[in-house]
Amino acid sequence: MDRLLRATVNTWNGLKSAIRTEAAFRQEIAVLLVAIPLAFVIGQSPWTRLALVGSVVFVMVVELLNTAVEKLADRVSREFDFQIGTVKDIGSAAVGLALLLAGAVWLLAIAQRLGLL
């Protein structure tokens, strides 16, 4: 039980830190707050609603991982390093792919709702 409590505190601290320091994460929280009720309007089944909200949460998870990589890389060295730059670019690409996936999920659900599928 103690381990679960510590993990919960660590999670909360990580979320607070991301909210304080990362504009992109704050924007994604705003999108999530809009996406949750909108998913109930667009989604025609519980699974569709879960996919809609889950895709936004997935973007947030990837953003958190990218932020962690970037902060660690900055801690290792503030000087320009090609390999660290590549690592940061790869993290950014992961966020970009997550955004594309979320966009595809939302477009597919909207098309289905409008009877286009």
Residues designated as active site: 63
3-state secondary structure the chain: CHHHHHHHHHHHHHHHHHHHHCHHHHHHHHHHHHHHHHHHHHCCCHHHHHHHHHHHHHHHHHHHHHHHHHHHHHHHCCCCCHHHHHHHHHHHHHHHHHHHHHHHHHHHHHHHHCCCC
